[in-house]
Structure formats: C-alpha cells, structure tokens
C-alpha cells in the first residue's frame, strides 16, 4: 500500500503538476507513437551492441549514461527534423520529449542492466 501511494504521489503530483503534465504523457506515449519509440530504442540497442559490447555489458557509470542517452536523444531529434510527419504526429513538445526520454532510459537500462542508470538516462534526456 505504501509503494502504491508513493507511486501515485510521484506520478500525479510531481509528474502532472510540477513538471507541466509530462508524467501522464509517459503513460500514454507508447499507445500512439506509431512505432517511433520502437525505432529510437532499436537504434539505441544497435548502438550499445556496437559500442558497449551488447546488452548488459556496460558498466553503470555516469559516463556510460551520458554517452548512450545523448546518442539516442540526438538520433531521435535528427529523425524528427528529417521526417516532419513524425514531428507532426507528436504534436506537442511534451510528447516529443517523453518519447526521446523513454528511448534514452530504456536503452541505458538495457545496456547496464541497471534501472537507476536508465532513470538517469531519462532525466538527462529531459534536461
């Protein structure tokens, strides 16, 4: 019960109110991203296989988080610029930021097998 209350507090209060609605967007993003989130994440998986030895092989250091999250985020932003329909599909900055952050966090978690490293990748992308 305490864990559920903590999650609700974090997602409703901090996620929706404090950050301008980004929290709820994270929940809804996967349903309507038109495989764009999948593409960004697949790029990240290919990147970690090439540069970090594969899934679960990277150390959970801030340098690794910076490298992976930045690379995935830059790839995503380049794709939004190259394909205006993707930019139009994710019509608000909150949706685009959430997709980029989710891809960065997922990829970082996969590379390190560490959820805290993935969370740091998500936060880095949101900056």
| Structure token pair of residue 30 | 């996967």
Q: What's this model's pTM, rounded to 2 decimal places? A: 0.76
| Structure token pair of residue 45 | 């998986």
Measured distance CA(70)–CA(60) in Å, rounded: 15
Q: Name the nearest CA neighbour of 117 among 75, 68, 76.
A: 68
The residue extents of the domains of the chain are 21-126
Measured distance CA(103)–CA(91) in Å, rounded: 18
pLDDT of 2 reads 64
| Structure token pair of residue 33 | 């991203």
pLDDT in tens, the chain (127 residues): 666 666 556 555 555 544 455 555 555 555 666 688 899 999 999 999 999 999 999 999 999 999 999 999 999 999 999 988 887 777 777 788 888 999 999 999 999 999 999 999 999 998 8
The CATH architecture one would assign to domain 21-126 is Up-down Bundle (1.20)
Measured distance CA(30)–CA(91) in Å, rounded: 15
């Amino acid at each position: 019960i305490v864990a559920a209350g903590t999650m609700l507090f974090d997602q409703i209060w901090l996620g929706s109110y404090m950050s301008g609605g980004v929290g709820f967007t994270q929940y809804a993003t996967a349903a309507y991203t038109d495989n764009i989130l999948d593409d960004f994440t697949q790029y990240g998986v290919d990147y970690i296989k090439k540069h970090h030895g594969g899934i679960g092989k990277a150390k959970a250091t801030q340098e690794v988080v910076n490298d992976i999250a930045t690379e995935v985020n830059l790839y995503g932003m380049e794709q939004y610029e190259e394909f205006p329909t993707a930019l139009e599909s994710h019509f608000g900055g909150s949706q685009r930021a959430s997709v980029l952050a989710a891809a960065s966090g997922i990829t970082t978690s996969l590379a390190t097998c560490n959820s805290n490293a993935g969370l740091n990748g998500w936060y880095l992308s949101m900056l």
